[in-house]
Structure 1
Amino acid sequence: MWTLLPESGLPFVSVLEKSSVRILPDGAMDVIATFHPDGHIDKTFAVGAMTCPQLTTVGNQAVAGIRFLPGAGGSALGVNAVTLTDGQIDVRDVARQHGAVRDVFRLLHRNASDARALHRFADVIGMNRRFVPPLVRRAAGLIASSSTSTRIEQIAKDLGVSRQHLAREFAAHAGLTPKRYAQICRVRAMLARVQRRVANCRRESSHAAAAQVSWSALAADYGYADQSHLISEVSAIIGQTPGEWQATAGSNIPIVPVSVAPL
């Protein structure tokens, strides 16, 4: 459960029991800090955008994070985002390449008695977001705003560039191809809709049938060629078939599509 760190306003999760958590792709990049029981920061690392789900074992630590909207992470950290895709790196390794991150990293560890230093960290690296090319920002917004099939060729045309140029720029800053990001956005939007419908049905009826989902109808609504196409894409993005996802406790974890307004 996400909450707020006292007097900091930073989102963090306090994990009381060791457990395995399935993290689903959402197109974002993060800087994560883990804390010792006394409140001092243990490790700080940058996490790249994910193309597929990751299973992470966590436990007995508080975790604070800074999230970059799709397209902002590469510039903010001073790296080609592709180098972090589906991986992570110690912030010290990024800091050697980026002066602002290096300076704030030192501050972070000199003043790590609480998480307020992360505010300064977020402020400094957040300033670098202005270096994100308008092309990437606008493309991310256009892709995220479409809940059905997205034609990358048309988006590139609307932005006045070739599909190849858009793909190169987008990957360098977001760590994903526009096509993969569009797939992630579509799957997350669809699963969020399923969660809302199932929750409403369960509130209104005690019959299990009321919560059944027509994946073939959803395939048509979200621009898939057919139900098999939907199942294939969902399985690639979240590592489970739609039926498996719905049957697991993980389907109760709120899925909120990342929304980026075109700038």
Structure 2
Amino acid sequence: MFYLAIKHATMDFLFAPSPALAGCLLHGMVKALPGGGYVLPAGMHPLILVILRVEIRVCRPGGMQPMARFSLCGGTRESLRAWAAPGTRILTLAVKPGQLRRIVDFPALTIMDSWADFDDFLTGQERGEAARCQARLAETDDTAGQVQAVMALLSVLHQGRAGGKADIVLPPDGFSLPPAALAARFGLSLRQFERRFRASYGQSLRGLRQQLRCSQLMRFVAGRPSGAGTWADVAARFGYCDQSHLIHDVLRFTGYTPGQLAAGVASEDPAFWPYRVAPLHMTRLFGPSGY
């Protein structure tokens, strides 16, 4: 149904979704997290998170809140501070753009900048499969067996919505086209397109374009070669008005200045693990857009 890839320094395993779910989900990752605090970069994709062992907490207005063992996390428009207990191990799967309603009964906008416990939206039959999945996860530390258990649960969710239609999915050239041209391509008025796009992606096209540019910039900063020029040069290369504009965006989406991010990735600091995923793995996990 899926394969397990060769181990990589930043993860335990990279795996493909089962064939039935390949149209909805990107590749998944199983990873042992370093204990302590870290900052998660903003993410454009809804994400299925399964805590296989121990605990994760995230910073919310009311304080640090524990994540449910099975969570559906929405996309985020800002960085997020989190903490993992020593020994925490997770399984994650990103949902492809516009495909969330083939897994659950609500669009990406519903959980943008938030998350939902699976118990909040599972039906009766799905709850039974979730209980079997939890029992399986509790009885084995075998990664292949854990992946199979999670895939079985997600397959049940998908089968219950097999007739559901995907939301708007931008074509490959979509991010470079003006909204009016995209609306015409989908046979919608501009207002209809904007409403459906926000439901599908969780935010406006303009906001997503800003986040996409910074995601591409993060890849460059994380592996920034010597001789790449000043930050002003980098800003011009990526289409920012000036260096301060670049710094503002990187701070918003990562929680770090460009210099802090580059130095942290180059160091041995375990808090920067999200930026040490190999480029090929990053594409499989989050698509060509990155985080």
Q: Which structure features the higher share of helix residues?
A: 1
Instruction: Report the secondary structure of 2:236's partner residue.
Output: helix
Compute the displacement of 1:22 (Å): 1.4
TM-score by length of 2: 0.67
| Equivalent residues in 2 for 1:77-92, closer than 5 Å | 77-92=104-119
* 1:161-200 Cα distance to aligned partner (Å, 9 max, x none): 34432232122233232222221211111221233342xx
Go from structure 1 to structure 2 and tell me whether the alpha carbon gap of 1:246 and 1:110 turns closer, same or farther (over 3 Å shift): closer
Letter in 2 for 1:94: F
Go from structure 1 to structure 2 and tell me whether the alpha carbon gap of 1:248 and 1:162 turns closer, same or farther (over 3 Å shift): farther
Letter in 1 for 2:46: M
Structure 2: distance between partners of 1:253 and 1:105: 32
Instruction: Report the secondary structure of 2:69's partner residue.
Output: strand
Q: Which sections of structure 1, spanning at least 5 residues, go unmatched?
A: 202-209
Correspondence for 1:66 among 93, 96, 116: 93
1:32 equivalent in structure 2: 49
Compute the displacement of 1:84 (Å): 1.2
Structure 2: distance between partners of 1:192 and 1:67: 18
* 1:33-83 Cα distance to aligned partner (Å, 9 max, x none): 11247xxxx821111111111111012222112221232224422223222
Instruction: Report the secondary structure of 2:42's partner residue.
Output: coil
Is 1:184 aligned to residue 211 of structure 2? yes
Go from structure 1 to structure 2 and tell me whether the alpha carbon gap of 1:175 and 1:105 turns closer, same or farther (over 3 Å shift): farther
Structure 2: distance between partners of 1:75 and 1:240: 35
Please, what is the CA RMSD of the aligned residues?
A: 3.3
Compute the displacement of 1:222 (Å): 2.6
* 1:194-245 Cα distance to aligned partner (Å, 9 max, x none): 33342xx3xxxxxxxx4x5433333333333333333333332223332332
Letter in 2 for 1:21: Y
The total of aligned residue pairs comes to: 236
Is 1:228 aligned to residue 244 of structure 2? yes
Go from structure 1 to structure 2 and tell me whether the alpha carbon gap of 1:194 and 1:152 turns closer, same or farther (over 3 Å shift): farther
| Equivalent residues in 2 for 1:151-170, closer than 5 Å | 151-170=178-197
Compute the displacement of 1:158 (Å): 4.0
1:214 equivalent in structure 2: 230
Go from structure 1 to structure 2 and tell me whether the alpha carbon gap of 1:188 and 1:104 turns closer, same or farther (over 3 Å shift): same
Structure 2: distance between partners of 1:83 and 1:226: 34
Query: Is the 8 Å Cα contact of residues 66 and 122 (structure 1) preserved in structure 2?
Result: no
Query: Is the 8 Å Cα contact of residues 221 and 261 (structure 2) preserved in structure 1?
Result: no
Letter in 1 for 2:222: Q
Query: Is the 8 Å Cα contact of residues 100 and 166 (structure 2) preserved in structure 1?
Result: no
Go from structure 1 to structure 2 and tell me whether the alpha carbon gap of 1:170 and 1:105 turns closer, same or farther (over 3 Å shift): farther
Go from structure 1 to structure 2 and tell me whether the alpha carbon gap of 1:14 and 1:129 turns closer, same or farther (over 3 Å shift): farther
Structure 1: distance between partners of 2:188 and 2:237: 29
